[in-house]
Amino acid sequence: MFLVRLIYTSKTSHNFGPEDIENILEKARINNQKKNVTGLLCFNNKFFLQCLEGSRQAVNDTYHHILNDDRHSNIIMLNYTEIIVREFEQWSMGYMPQSSMTSPITLKHSGTPNFAPYEMSGESAHCLMLALKESIRTC
């Protein structure tokens, strides 16, 4: 089965608490490992930006679960494409908190230095996530 990449953005529901992000990551990593889904989740305490990659079946299935999760809302798909290779193969779900998203990196990929994924194109969001991956490699 060939590979696809899906990128979406969303925002937290009003009752979202600090323990929610830990629960999401724990569950995501367990489920994704079983389905060979890999990816990256960026989160600045308000907005999510997530990349999922894997077989079309596995990515679509995971996204359907995510769409029905009431811990977030306003879910907008930014990018869905067939890919040849994975880019986040080392992570069943990598995580970039606010502190990892420095202004120079976000400014390079968007109109402001703030993390504003609703205002980003799918390709810019994709490039931002690749840059974030590289930034932790070079630290």
Q: Rule CB under 6 A: which residues touch ligand FMN?
A: 24, 27-28, 31-32, 41, 48, 50, 52, 62, 65-66, 69, 71-72, 93
Kindly tell me which of 100 and 113 has the beta carbon lying closer to ligand FMN: 100
Q: What is the SS3 assignment for 15?
A: coil
Give the contacts of 111 (CB within 8 A, at least 6 positions apart): 119
Minimum distance between the CB of residue 32 and ligand FMN, rounded to whole angstroms? 5
> Which of 30, 131, 34, 40 minimizes the C-alpha distance to 86?
40
End-to-end CA distance of the chain: 35
Give the contacts of 68 (CB within 8 A, at least 6 positions apart): none
User: In terms of DSSP H, where are the helices of 1-139?
Assistant: 18-35, 56-67, 103-109, 122-138
Kindly tell me which of 11 and 113 has the beta carbon lying closer to ligand FMN: 11
- Residue 102 tokens read as 């420095």
Minimum distance between the CB of residue 25 and ligand FMN, rounded to whole angstroms? 8
Minimum distance between the CB of residue 131 and ligand FMN, rounded to whole angstroms? 20
Minimum distance between the CB of residue 3 and ligand FMN, rounded to whole angstroms? 16
Kindly tell me which of 27 and 108 has the beta carbon lying closer to ligand FMN: 27
Kindly tell me which of 66 and 129 has the beta carbon lying closer to ligand FMN: 66
Minimum distance between the CB of residue 104 and ligand FMN, rounded to whole angstroms? 25
> Which of 48, 45, 29 minimizes the C-alpha distance to 37?
29
Kindly tell me which of 35 and 113 has the beta carbon lying closer to ligand FMN: 35
